[in-house]
Amino acid sequence: WDRVRIIAEPGGAAAFAAMLSGRYVPAEGERVAVLVCGSNTNPGNF
């Protein structure tokens, strides 16, 4: 939330977090898609 203003459940945000943190670096020419799910969140926590 603090960085990109997307509310997502932890499991749904894991792949996105790996991309943002640099822990996953795509190979040259690789196309990456990340699905972010937020159906199990409570917006009141943010």
Task: Kindly give the confidence (pLDDT) of every residue in the chain, 46 residues in length, as a single tens digit, with 9 standing for 90 and above.
Answer: 677 777 888 887 888 889 989 999 999 999 999 888 777 777 777 6
Compute the half-sphere exposure of residue 9: CA atoms within 13 Å on the CB side of its CA.
Answer: 8
- Is 19 part of any domain? yes
Classify 42 as helix, strand or coil: coil
Tokens of 16: 């996105």
Classify 41 as helix, strand or coil: coil
pTM score of the predicted model: 0.61
- Is 46 part of any domain? no
- Is 1 part of any domain? no
pLDDT score, position 37: 78
pLDDT score, position 23: 95
Total domain count, the chain? 1
State which residues form the domain around 28: 10-41
Output the furthest CA–CA distance in the chain (Å, rounded).
Answer: 40
pLDDT score, position 45: 72
Alpha-helical regions (H) of 1-46: 10-21
